[in-house]
Amino acid sequence: MADENNSLKEEEEKVKPEYGAVACEGVEVKLDEMKPDEMKPVEVKPDEMKPVEMKPVEVKLDEMKPDEMKPVEVKPVEVKPDEMKPVEVKLDEVKPVEVKLDEVKPVEVKADKVKADEEKPAEEKRAEEDEEWMKMEVEMGADSYSEDVSSEEPELDLSLLELTVDREKCRHIRRQYRQLIYTVQQHREDIVNTASDTLTEALEEANVLFDGVSRTREAALDAQFLVLASDLGKEKAKQLNSDMNSFNYVAFCDLLFSFVGLNWIEDEFEELSDCGDSVALSFWEAVHKESMCWIKQAETFHFIFGSFKAEPSTRKRRLEYKRAHKMEENGDMPTKLRKLDVHANQETTEKEVERILGLLQTYFQKYPDTPVSYFEFVIDPHSFSRTVENIFYVSFIIRDGFARIRLDQDRLPVLEPTNINKVDEDTDASSYSRKQGVISLSLQDWKNIVSTFEISEAMIKNTY
Amino acid sequence: MLQKPRNGACASAQAHSSRDLGPVGDTGVLNVSSGPSSSKDTLNSSSQGSHSSQTATYPGLRTQKQLELKVAELVQFLLIKDQKKMPIKRTGILKHVIRDYKDIFPDLLKLAVERLEYVFGYKLVELEPKRNTYILVNALEPLEEDASVRGDQGTPTTGLLMIILGLIFMNGNGIAESEVWDFLQRLGVYPTRKHFIFGDPKKLITEDFVRQRYLEYQRIPHTDPAEYQFQWGPRTNLETSKMKVLKFVAKVHNQDPTDWPAQYCEALVDEENRASPELSGPILSS
């Protein structure tokens, strides 16, 4: 017995000097089962807020697991009902320690109680613990403590009941705290900006809630709420200051317009964006000009003829342009252009030529021995540029010898197929005097031809 | 030291073009004259530097011409780096311009500073003490008559900046981002809409101005969803002052700065602080 007492005393003394009381008005934190590295002080900073009447209440720590004990500024502790295990505290681990800044209270009573506990049956151990705590509170009640601490002579049944009810109560309290914090955060704007009593009411509610707090978890939530409330209080105080100076934004805005000389804006248009771009530009330039008189900006240095390395800047400009396009635009989306492969020009020409040759040969197969009028073949009544392209491609056909062009009776050019069988004539073809013809076609000519020949649709159909 | 009599001679000569090499000039004695305020100390220290550099680096002997070139390069570097208005880092200077002239970097910088001041009228100022970033500030007070002559370079962002600075100051040196946007929307500037002058206004204000150190953009604690607030950045305090911003606001209102007593008092205090510890201010200290 004595040994145990001594060991307990030693441990108490070991622990005592390390931890001080909570830096809050009259709140004491008793720690049992504490390990030096877990215990972090509860920091509450009430700065610039209304003095809150916080009744001093003891906070008990029944079960302290390493991960649960967190500093107050952290988000509320996630409590799962499973975590609330019944306290299985062995006698050895029980270190009822009373921690205080100034006073050093005698600890003998605890030792006696512990001694007494040994003799009692195991199932009452837990109850005894609580009993001890209550006794402790009574002892320390010498200072200004609340009266809701249980009576001096607790009965075992009552204490047992209280313990089971405690869990529910604590959960309820935590829920209420979280709700309070949530509502205050949601109405943050409202609280800060209006002259309402919402903040005071919330604080009073927290006060009431705090009466029922008996464990660190709830105390942590309470401290979190306190930090939030004090932040809001600080903002409210700031608001108070600035109201005295009465800087009116709307007036500033309107005066900016009148300063620039755009007095009529308020009457005719709602916003600056409704007016034309030039008006807005002149507004911003005027403001800029005036601002330059009040700020000692160094003018940026640019070479007159530019510097050599132009590449980086264009790359940046392109990026900015892309980024600007990602945003919402007032205007319509620009019509997307198809990517033109400029390098495939050579193949395109050949392909086109082959295609047109195919068309021509089909025609000749359909209508053998009838030369087709050149104009009818080439002209596209809907597109002048297509017409020119067709002429270009047909010239290739003629050059390669797949068709022939000659003037018919009416002195109009016609296209004739050449006989591919006559291979012999190939050598002769070269001996033929190469005749060259230059066809010039202006827009007016094209229109005239279309109307004269009454060409309604192009013979050379396009794929696209 | 053979240099001394030469120094006496060239001190009276033109500020920076002392082509005096002296009898040992062909071996490349470091002969740096530091303008009208030439002090023998810098010359001696620089000559000592050259002696030490002779042993340290291979191109230890530097001709006057090389130094002139280096200073000119440095001035040009600083001017061009300032185009974007981003703070210039000392490491950048050392890496791109100075390179192997590191040992005489302080002297080179000093010369460059003087050149910038006398030729261009710009001051090279350290942005924050001991952070080794510099900015160029106009040494001349802006005149209203010059407004028409001043070039239109780039977009007129200074107007927007000044408005925001005014908002911040009149609101007690800090303003929430949401309030800034409420105000700017009345002027047709939206955070999500493309502006035909400013492009992306949100990026301009929350990123560009912050990177240029005109504004500070900080998160307000305990807000969810996160909200931010604006404050004056270090560059603002160097380029303008509370009194000037107040005068700008007063001019727009066509009123007197004294009509806002709290802000006026604050601005007066600020002016006093600027006036008295002038020497210990953010002057270039290499």
> What integer pLDDT is reported at residue B244 of this predicted model?
92
**pLDDT band per the 50, 70, 90 thresholds, residue A433:** low
Among A367-371, B80-84, B89-93, B182-186, which stretch is predicted with the lowest mean pLDDT?
Answer: A367-371
> What integer pLDDT is reported at residue A263 of this predicted model?
60
List, for residues B139-157, the tens digit of each pLDDT value.
888 877 766 666 666 788 8
| pLDDT score of B230 more than 90 | yes
Contact A284, B159 (CB under 8 A): yes
In A293-312, the residues whose Cβ lies within 8 Å of chain B are 293-302, 307
| pLDDT score of B215 more than 90 | yes
User: Residue A340: CB partners within 8 Å, gap ≥ 6?
Assistant: none
The reply to whether omega before A41 is within 30° of 0 (cis) is no
**Interface confidence: ipTM more than 0.90:** no
Between strands B228-232 and B215-219, the pairing is antiparallel
| pLDDT score of A357 more than 80 | yes
Contact A89, A125 (CB under 8 A): yes
Average pLDDT of the residues in A282-303: 84
Whether A290 contacts chain B with CB within 8 A: yes
Structural tokens at position A84: 């609330």
Report yes or no on whether pTM surpasses 0.80: no
Average pLDDT of the residues in A40-56: 47
Closest CA to A96 of A158, A38, A9: A9
Which strands, in side-by-side order, build the sheet including A413-417?
Answer: A372-373, A413-417, A403-407
What is d(CA B92, CA B139) in angstroms, rounded to the nearest whole number? 24
Q: Cα dist. A40→A34, A64, A67, A70, A77 in Å?
A: 10, 12, 12, 7, 15
> What integer pLDDT is reported at residue B59 of this predicted model?
52
> What integer pLDDT is reported at residue A265 of this predicted model?
52
Structural tokens at position A291: 């601002």
| pLDDT score of A51 more than 60 | no
Structural tokens at position A297: 């900006």
**pLDDT band per the 50, 70, 90 thresholds, residue A25:** very low
| pLDDT score of B76 more than 70 | yes
Of A238, A281, A296, the CB nearest to B138: A296
> What integer pLDDT is reported at residue B209 of this predicted model?
92
**pLDDT band per the 50, 70, 90 thresholds, residue A71:** very low
Average pLDDT of the residues in A114-138: 46
In A255-274, the residues whose Cβ lies within 8 Å of chain B are 255-256, 259, 271-274
Which positions in chain A touch B150 (Cβ < 8 Å)?
A: 289, 292, 299
> What integer pLDDT is reported at residue B127 of this predicted model?
87
Average pLDDT of the residues in B64-75: 90
| pLDDT score of A145 more than 90 | no
Between strands A372-373 and A28-29, the pairing is unpaired
> What integer pLDDT is reported at residue B34 of this predicted model?
39
A242–B166: do the CB atoms touch at under 8 Å?
Answer: no
> What integer pLDDT is reported at residue A23 of this predicted model?
41
> What integer pLDDT is reported at residue A341 of this predicted model?
61
A297–B239: do the CB atoms touch at under 8 Å?
Answer: yes
Say which DSSP state A83 is in: G
B122–A256: do the CB atoms touch at under 8 Å?
Answer: no
**pLDDT band per the 50, 70, 90 thresholds, residue B213:** very high
Which positions in chain B touch A274 (Cβ < 8 Å)?
A: 188
A299–B183: do the CB atoms touch at under 8 Å?
Answer: no
- Choosing among A241, A293, A320, A326, which should be mutated to test the B contact, i.e. which has the most B CBs within 10 A? A293
| pLDDT score of A67 more than 60 | no
> Taking the CB of residue B10, how many other CB atoms lie within 10 A of it?
18
| pLDDT score of A1 more than 50 | no
List, for residues B16-50, the tens digit of each pLDDT value.
444 443 343 344 334 444 334 334 444 444 444 44
> What integer pLDDT is reported at residue B214 of this predicted model?
93
| pLDDT score of B206 more than 70 | yes
Q: Between these two residues, B33 and A414, which has the higher pLDDT value?
A: A414
A252–B221: do the CB atoms touch at under 8 Å?
Answer: no
List, for residues B4-25, the tens digit of each pLDDT value.
444 444 334 343 444 443 343 3
Average pLDDT of the residues in A337-346: 64
For residue A30, the one-letter residue type is: K
List, for residues B249-276, the tens digit of each pLDDT value.
888 888 888 888 888 998 999 999 988 8
**pLDDT band per the 50, 70, 90 thresholds, residue B280:** very low
Average pLDDT of the residues in A261-281: 64
Nearest Cα of chain B lies from the Cα of A81 at a distance, in angstroms, of 27
Q: Which residue has 């009818």 as its token pair? A: A376
**pLDDT band per the 50, 70, 90 thresholds, residue A172:** confident
Which positions in chain A touch B265 (Cβ < 8 Å)?
A: none
Whether A248 contacts chain B with CB within 8 A: no
Which positions in chain A touch B185 (Cβ < 8 Å)?
A: 271
Q: Between these two residues, A227 and A86, which has the higher pLDDT value?
A: A227
Structural tokens at position B200: 């992306």
B186–A277: do the CB atoms touch at under 8 Å?
Answer: no
Among A82-96, A218-232, A233-247, which stretch is predicted with the lowest mean pLDDT?
Answer: A82-96
Of A242, A292, A329, the CB nearest to B158: A292
For residue A35, the one-letter residue type is: K
Q: What percent of chain A has pLDDT over 70?
A: 47
Average pLDDT of the residues in B96-106: 85
Q: Cα dist. A378→A235, A372, B15, B20, B47 in Å?
A: 81, 10, 80, 83, 87
> What integer pLDDT is reported at residue A156 of this predicted model?
59
List, for residues A246-267, the tens digit of each pLDDT value.
667 777 777 777 777 766 555 5
| Dihedral of alpha carbons B99, B100, B106, B108, sign | negative
